[in-house]
Structure 1
C-alpha cells in the first residue's frame, strides 16, 4: 500500500484507537468510526490487568502478544501522558494468585517462559496485603504485573488522535455493511451514507462477527457478558492485585477497588443483574473482608469479543482485497492491545513484524457462511 491511502477503521475501542494511532504517521489519512462513543464497550468495562488472568492456561500465540505488551505498556502510558496530559495510570502493583488448582503448571510455565512468578508463603502474602481474607492457604506472586486505568487510556488515546491533522473520528456512526467493487472492499455503508477507504480495518470487538456476516463470512466472535463492581477505599487500602476462584480485586491509585468478573453468554444484553451483584459482593468479601463495610459505588456490565482459545484475528481477510481484521481478543483486549496493534501495522505496512504473524492470520480461520 502507498503512503497516500485512506484507512477506514470500524470500531473505536482500545484496539481501534491504538490501530489508528499506530497507522496515522504512516498513511495519508485515517477515519475511525464507532457506533456509539469511542471506548465505551469492553474497553471501558474491563479491569485493565496487564496480564491474562491465568497466563499459563493460554496458547503460545496469546503469550507472545501478552509478553510484548506487558513490556511496552509503561512507555506507552508515559508517551500518551506526555502528548495529551491525560495519564492512563499504568500502575505496577504485582499480583497474588491464591489457592490455585494448577499451581504446579503455573510455576513450570514461569520457568519455561522466564517470567518472575514464584510461590510465596501465605504469611508473606498477608504481610504484603494485610486486608487479605484468612481463608486461603497457598499463594504465588508475580511482582511486575501492572494494571492500566482503562477509561483514562481511552480518553488519552482519543485526545492523541484528535490532535493529529490526518485523523477523523466519527462517533454515533454505525456501519451496516461494506462497499465492494468486485472482490475488493472499497468502503463502508453507514447510517449517514458511504465512507470510502483504500483499506478497511474491522476492529469492532463483539460486533465484528455480525459485520462479516454481511459478506457471507462466518467469524467465530461472539459477545460474552462480564459484570464488575467498584468500591471506594483509602488510597493505601489494597497494595497489590489479588485473584482467587476466578475473581479478582484491582486497586486504582486513588483507592477505587474493582471486583470482577462474571462470564455470561446472554447475547448483546448488558443489563447488570442482582444475582451477579450478590455473587461479586460475596467474592469481594471473601478476598477482602473489610469490604463488607464498604459501599458499592459502581456496578456495570460489558461485552467481551469471545473467540476460540482467545486468539485474536490480525491480518488480511482472504478473498476480500482491502479488508483487514484486528479483533476477537476475548478477555485480553487491554492486555494484548499494544502488541496486536503494532503487529497489525507491521503486517499492513509490510514491515518486519514484532512476532510471527502466522497464528493470528484470518486465512483458514474464517469460513463462508452457508446459511
Structure 2
C-alpha cells in the first residue's frame, strides 16, 4: 500500500484524503492551522461559479462534474457520519446582467437550463427583493452547500478511516528530495516520507513551492462576508446582482458577499468592507436593514491567473503533485478536482481530459 502526504486540510485536502484512502492508499494529511479553517470555511458554498459563462471550458468541465456529483456526496457523508452538509437546492437568479445573450448562448452550448424571466415573476417568488431591478435570468437546480458542516462531515468521515492520519498545527517548511525526486516533507513536527506529496495548501501553495525553484502563480485574495439571521422563508432562492450575492441557508440565515481584495495574507475584517457589503445587502433585500447581523469575517482565496486550477504532477520534480489555484471556485470544483488528481496519481482513466490543468514550466 503506497503512502501519500497531502499538504493542506481544506475541503480539497480532506476530500482528496478520503478518496485516496478509499482507493487503498495510506494518507498523511498535514495542516498548518486547524483543518477546514481557511477559505473552505469562509466562502459562501454556492455550487456554481458566480458567472459560469465567463470561465474557460476547463473550469466548466470541472464544475459540471462536481455539480452532478454533489448530491450523492452530501448523502453519503450524512449517512456515514450523521452530519448533514445541508445541500440546499434553491436555484439562482441573476439580476440586470450587462450581457444576457452571452449567458444564454453559453447555457445552450453547455446544455444547462437558463432562462430569462419577467421581473414581475421574480418578485412573486422573492417578495423581499429590492426595487430598481428590471431583468432576470434564472437557473433552476443550483444548490449551495453549508460549507462549515461539509468540513465537519469530511473530518468525521476521515476519522472513520484508519488509513488516514491528520496532523493539525503542523506547518510544512520544505520538501525532501532524493535523486531529483520529491520523497517527503520537512515540517514543524519533523520529517515525513511518502511515495507522493500533494500540495493542496490553497493561498499558501505558491510560497511552499518557491524554495523548490518553482514559480506557481497562486496568491492570496481576500474576501469578506456578512451573515444575517432571518426567518426561514425570507429568501427562497439565491440572488446575484452587480457582483454581490445573497445565499439562503435552510434555517433562514442569509450570507451576503463578497469583496475581492489583494492585501497579502491580511485577514482582518474592515469597516469599509462591512459598509459596502451592508449597502449591497440592502439594495438586494431592503429588509436586511432591520435584520440581526450575526457575523462578519474574511478569508483568503487561492488566486490564479484564469481561475483554472493546477492538477497533476510537477514535471520538474517527480513525486510532487498539485491540486491548488481554484481561486473563487474551490468548493464547487473540489469533487471533480480531487477525483481527477486521484485518477492521475493512481494511473486510472481520468474523468475528464487532464491536459488543461497540468502544471507546466514552473521553474523560475
Fold match (TM-score > 0.5): yes
Unpaired runs of at least 5, structure 1: none
Please report how far the alpha carbon of residue 21 of structure 1 lies from its aligned counterpart in structure 2 after TM superposition.
0.8
SS at match of 1:156: helix
The residue number in structure 1 matching 2:171 is 174
Tell me if 1:314 matches 2:311. yes
Aligned residues: 364
Q: Deviations over 1:204-262 (max 9, x none)?
A: 00000000001010000000000000000011110000000000000000011000000
Partner of 2:46: 49
Q: Is the 8 A contact 2:230 2:292 kept in 1?
A: no
Q: In 1, distance between residues paired with 2:298 and 2:269? A: 6
Taking the aligned partners of 2:345 and 2:187, their CA distance within structure 1 comes to: 24
Deviations 1:318-343 (Å, cap 9, x if unpaired)? 12111100000000000100110111
- Residue 308 of structure 1 aligns to a residue in which SS? coil
22, 26, 31: which one aligns with 2:28: 31
Aligned to 2:289: 292
Shift, 1:307, TM fit: 0.4
Residues 168-226 of structure 1 show CA distances to partners (whole Å, capped at 9, x for unaligned) of 00000000100111211111001121011111000000000000001010000000000
Separation in 2 of the partners of 1:207 and 1:286?
35
* Selected match of 1:268 from 243, 265, 268: 265
Secondary structure at the counterpart of residue 233 of structure 2: coil
Deviation at 1:20, TM superposition (A): 0.5
In structure 2, stretches of 5+ residues that fail to align are none
Q: Is the 8 A contact 1:81 1:87 kept in 2?
A: yes
Aligned counterpart, 2:247: 250
Q: For the Cα contact (< 8 Å) 2:53–2:106, is it kept in 1?
A: yes
TM-fit CA distance, 1:27: 3.3
Q: Distance in 2 between matches of 1:319 and 1:146?
A: 39
Q: What is aligned with 2:277?
A: 280
Aligned-CA RMSD value: 0.7
- The 5 Å alignment of 1:146-225 reads 146-225=143-222
Partner SS for 1:15: helix
Residue correspondence of structure 1 range 63-78 to structure 2 within 5 A: 63-78=60-75
How far 1:28 moved relative to its partner? Answer: 3.5
Measure, in 1, the Cα distance between the counterparts of 2:25 and 2:49. 35
Q: Residue in 1 aligned with 2:352?
A: 355
Match of 1:102 among 92, 99, 104: 99
Matched, 1:346 2:339: no
